[in-house]
């Protein structure tokens, strides 16, 4: 029986549908601990730069795997910087960083007491903790437990 003129488009359409469904189920690959750690460092340093903090000081350079079970690891990073006004309240500094961090990447507040604010970026698997003191910005963070490679 000769193939109909519709069989090629139908087969092609079915193939494209199967491919699209397969791709939709894959999602994005989870970052490694090292990649997420590098992203965390970039986000925190950019955050301090964007709020016009001067003389940022790295208090935790990170860069090392911290084992967290099942062959996975996490990374950390932290930095502080004086506020240019030197007298701003911790809450004010945190609010400025909340707004700015949301512009840098898709961070959402997951917990807050005002004095301590936890913000998470799900795609990069990073958490940033804002914990400023009077006249001093402070941001630290960690990655989720992720594959080492």
Q: Any idea what DSSP says for residue 95? A: H
Higher pLDDT, 124 or 1: 124
- Any alpha helices (H) in 1-149, and if so which ranges? 7-26, 33-50, 90-104
Higher pLDDT, 12 or 78: 78
pLDDT digits (tens, 9 = 90+) for 123-142: 999 999 999 999 999 999 99
The dihedral sign for the CA sequence 62, 65, 66, 68: positive
How far is residue 55's CA from residue 128's CA, in Å, rounded to a whole number? 20
Query: Over the chain, what is the mean pLDDT?
Result: 85
């Amino acid at each position: 029986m000769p193939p109909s003129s519709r069989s090629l488009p139908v087969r092609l359409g079915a193939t494209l549908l199967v491919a699209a469904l397969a791709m939709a189920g894959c999602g994005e690959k989870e970052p490694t601990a090292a990649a997420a750690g590098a992203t965390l460092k970039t986000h925190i340093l950019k955050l301090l730069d964007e709020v016009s903090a001067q003389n940022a000081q790295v208090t935790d350079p990170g860069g090392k795997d911290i084992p967290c079970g099942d062959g996975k690891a996490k990374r950390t990073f932290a930095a502080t910087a004086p506020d240019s006004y030197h007298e701003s309240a911790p809450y004010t500094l945190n609010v400025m960083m909340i707004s700015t961090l949301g512009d840098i990447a898709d961070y959402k507040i997951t917990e807050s007491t005002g004095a301590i604010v936890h913000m998470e970026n799900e795609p990069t698997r990073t958490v940033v903790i804002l914990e400023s003191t009077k006249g001093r910005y402070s941001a630290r963070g960690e990655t989720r437990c992720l594959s080492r490679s």
